[in-house]
Amino acid sequence: MASSECRNPWLRGEHLPLETFAVVIVMPGVPLKLIVGLGNPGPEYARTRHNAGFFLVDELARRLGGTFRSESRHQGDLAKVRIDGTELWLLKPMTFMNRSGGPVHSVAGFYKVPAESILVAYDELDFQPGVIRLKQGGGAAGHNGMRDVIAQMGDQFWRLRIGIGHPGDRAAVLNYVLGRPSAEDSRLIDEAIAAGLDVVPSLISEGGQKAMHRLHTRSVPPGGASPEP
């Protein structure tokens, strides 16, 4: 019986050309390009709980030397910054909270930013002041600004949810979010925002899982929410 021909070039002692091999490099980081802070424009809302998202992008711009400029075509204020060589746009929609999606869609479309490269920061009633959580995807959980962003962009963008606490009575929520936090709550919110900003470089370079682990394992005030999966 004739022996079967060996079809494996390695077993035949042949050398394959370099072009035969493909090298795949997996980048673990999130290619973040746009960070959005949700809030309401105007001095009467400047320090209200509902503007926690504005607080976050204002602080990031301050840290990185960015300057917000009004962009009427996008209905928002924009700033450009760099984090470890990565260029990012910061956006504060100027359309009021319930219409936040339009400016996000406009900026993302103009700069060709996919939803997966967007991070949206906003106030979260379900978390106590001092708590901040990072996640990708999900629903609006009753937040009107987030509902409008999801309607415009889908739900696969990243979120930083900044705890502001809950008044305990659903009927009191509107006045609560449009009110100013106490001095102690304001301090806790600022600390949470600082912690959230500290993990943004990790999100970009190391990916969501490591960034979430770093953020969610920090100590939180008594009564704070447990990390979500």
Beta pairing class for 69-71 and 76-83: antiparallel
What's the rounded Cα separation, in Å, for the pair 41 and 178?
12
Q: Which of 50, 74, 143, 216 is catalytic?
A: 50
Any catalytic annotation for residue 50?
A: yes
What's the rounded Cα separation, in Å, for the pair 184 and 62?
22
Beta pairing class for 132-136 and 158-163: antiparallel
What's the rounded Cα separation, in Å, for the pair 55 and 40?
11
Return phi, psi of residue 211, to 5°: -65, -40
| Length of the chain as a residue count | 229
What's the rounded Cα separation, in Å, for the pair 112 and 134?
23
Cβ neighbours, 10 Å, residue 156: 14
Q: With helix as H, strand as E and coil as C, how does 154-169 read? A: CCCCEEEEEECCCCCC
User: Residues 6 or more apart from 162 whose CB is under 8 A from it?
Assistant: 52, 53, 55, 56, 121, 122, 123, 124, 127, 132, 189, 192, 193, 196
Catalytic positions: 50
